[in-house]
Structure 1
Amino acid sequence: MARPVGSITRGTTGHNRLRRADRWIAAVHGRLLRATARPLVVDLGYGASHVTTLELFTRLRRVAPDVEVVGIEIDPARVAAAKPYEREGLSFALGGFELPVARPPVLVRAFNVLRQYGEAEAWRYWRALLERLAPGGVLVEGTCSEVGHRAVWVGLDASGPRTLTFSARFDAFERPSDLADRLPKTLIHRNVPGERIHAFLRDWDHAWAVSAPYSSHGARQRWIAAARTLAATWPIPCHPPLGGRARWRLGELTVPWPAVAPDVRDA
């Protein structure tokens, strides 16, 4: 077997760490999974414990009963530790960005995997993963905090990045720009004046500030009000599956990638 592509991560993980992303995947891509015969999903770089892969499998089975999930890890010891938890439709395999699976996956989730790479490498691995997807497939790549209370992820398809989603517990931040520490590698160093992502976070903080009166009804209502205010000047989706009250009330906000993307000449 060829050497897996990539480097071993710290492996930090824990129960429900990726619940926010899983919930979004089920809501936004459930239809894709149900429309695909024997849909294969890959959880790339699941870490020192099998638990987040098992949780992904359990959650996706609720929306697509025939989905198959393969957890892929570059560390042989982590794969060996996960093997006893295999069951019908859930398996674990040794590998990396080359995705050593029997058929192209319709969805790949890769969380907290690209943090250790440079920006240019992150773009390169995005392209490598997209090339391995089944036709119409998607990649969800992101980063979350140690316990999952702050998370940011990118939704990509064959054409490249399409959306950027922020998600947080309402007690996990003081202002929305606090989530900047979870930006993907392709954006985190771009949060400086003159970049689109910096302007977006600046305006979101302003929308959060002017929505302060809604705090008397709770942080959830303030988040919803801030999203509506931001949508007046930014192309925020305001209808399902990506936006609207049903998503905002969960502490989510999605923006189209082109609105916050770095200059392609620098990417």
Structure 2
Amino acid sequence: MSTRARPVGEITRGTTWHNRLRRCDRWLTAVHGPLLRAATPAPLVVDLGYGASHITTTELFTRLRRIVPRAEVAGLEIDPARVAAASPYSRPGLTFALGGFELPVDRPPTVVRAFNVLRQYDEERALEAWDLMRRRLAPRGVIVEGTCSEIGHRATWVTLGEEGPRTLTFSARLTGIERPSDLAERLPKALIHRNVPGEAIYELLRDFDQAWAVCAPHGAYGLRQRFLATVETLARAWPVATVPPLGGRGRWRLGEMTVPWSAVAPRRYVG
């Protein structure tokens, strides 16, 4: 009889689709490429809770291999049926297995990507999941935990290290939003219920919208130019990342903006 413990977590809806996580993958390879290339032995990346299809895990593997040919990816799911469905797509460097927040892999991962897995949890349990995953990381490893829309055009994610949360990133296809605060519905669980007066995330989104309105004339040159001007305006009052790899015009042109976690942390949880 197997003595393996039950995976930690709950089965999600499993919604997924081609390129749903492309925005995060593009950011991950650009920002954490040096971390992955420096990892020894080969960097292990865990895709936690990949859903009803192997596709986003396979896409992550393909994108990582372009910048780190020796990278290995392990897709983990708590639903045995999903693991069985994905397993035929395994190949050297890409595996699928049963597992949850305890991260049952053969060595500490350099990166964990956990998207759309904590929305159904309450805030306290989501923070417990953060803590459990952080304890499993390789030295200097990171967790990218976030939420996105069904087709991936709206997303936010938190980056965590061994010490706790570091940054919050907003990412949007600019034709898919009317104002920056449209991203509020995709905030990570640790913040989504904090978008109320008196909380920093509420104030940031309020000021983000105000800057967007002030920069409306730039829209004559396209949404990208309006967004660039908006982020530059917001950066005068908020600690927006303004230099690579997390910030600067190269990232802003993609509809991205990153701020330190300390700027938006809930009043009760600072990290």
Q: Compute the TM-score of the two structures, normalised by the length of structure 2.
A: 0.97
Q: CA deviation at 1:264?
A: 3.5
Residue 18 (structure 2) pairs with residue 23 (structure 1): no
The correspondence of residues 68-83 of structure 1 with structure 2, limited to 5 A, is 68-83=72-87
- Equivalent position of 1:177 in the other structure: 181
Q: Tell me the amino acid that sits aligned with residue 217 of structure 2.
A: P
Q: CA deviation at 1:266?
A: 8.5
Match of 1:215 among 214, 219, 222: 219
Residue 200 (structure 2) pairs with residue 200 (structure 1): no
- Equivalent position of 2:35 in the other structure: 32
Q: Tell me the amino acid that sits aligned with residue 7 of structure 1.
A: E
- Equivalent position of 2:46 in the other structure: 42
Question: What SS class does the counterpart of residue 174 from structure 2 fall into?
Answer: coil
The correspondence of residues 89-128 of structure 1 with structure 2, limited to 5 A, is 89-128=93-132
C-alpha change, 1:105 and 1:266, in structure 2 (3 Å) is closer
Q: How many Å separate the matches in 2 of 1:74 and 1:127? A: 18
CA RMSD of aligned residues (A): 1.0
Q: Tell me the amino acid that sits aligned with residue 133 of structure 1.
A: L
Q: How many Å separate the matches in 2 of 1:76 and 1:266? A: 36
Residue 14 (structure 2) pairs with residue 11 (structure 1): yes
Question: What SS class does the counterpart of residue 191 from structure 2 fall into?
Answer: helix
Match of 1:2 among 2, 5, 26: 5
- Equivalent position of 2:249 in the other structure: 245
- Equivalent position of 2:146 in the other structure: 142
Question: What SS class does the counterpart of residue 124 from structure 2 fall into?
Answer: helix
Question: What SS class does the counterpart of residue 201 from structure 1 fall into?
Answer: helix
Percent sequence identity is 70
Question: What SS class does the counterpart of residue 119 from structure 2 fall into?
Answer: helix
Q: How many residues align?
A: 267
Q: How many Å separate the matches in 2 of 1:208 and 1:29? A: 29
Q: Which runs of 4+ in 1 moved over 3 A?
A: 264-267
Q: CA deviation at 1:62?
A: 1.1
- Structure 2 stretches of 5 or more lacking a match? none
Q: How many Å separate the matches in 1 of 2:63 and 2:215? A: 34
Question: What SS class does the counterpart of residue 57 from structure 1 fall into?
Answer: helix
- Equivalent position of 1:168 in the other structure: 172
Q: Compute the TM-score of the two structures, normalised by the length of structure 1.
A: 0.99
Q: How many Å separate the matches in 2 of 1:224 and 1:266? A: 29
Q: CA deviation at 1:265?
A: 5.5
Confirm or deny: 8 A CA contact 2:8 2:101 kept in the other structure. yes
Question: What SS class does the counterpart of residue 237 from structure 2 fall into?
Answer: coil
Q: How many Å separate the matches in 2 of 1:256 and 1:73? A: 30
Confirm or deny: 8 A CA contact 2:262 2:270 kept in the other structure. no
Q: CA deviation at 1:221?
A: 0.5
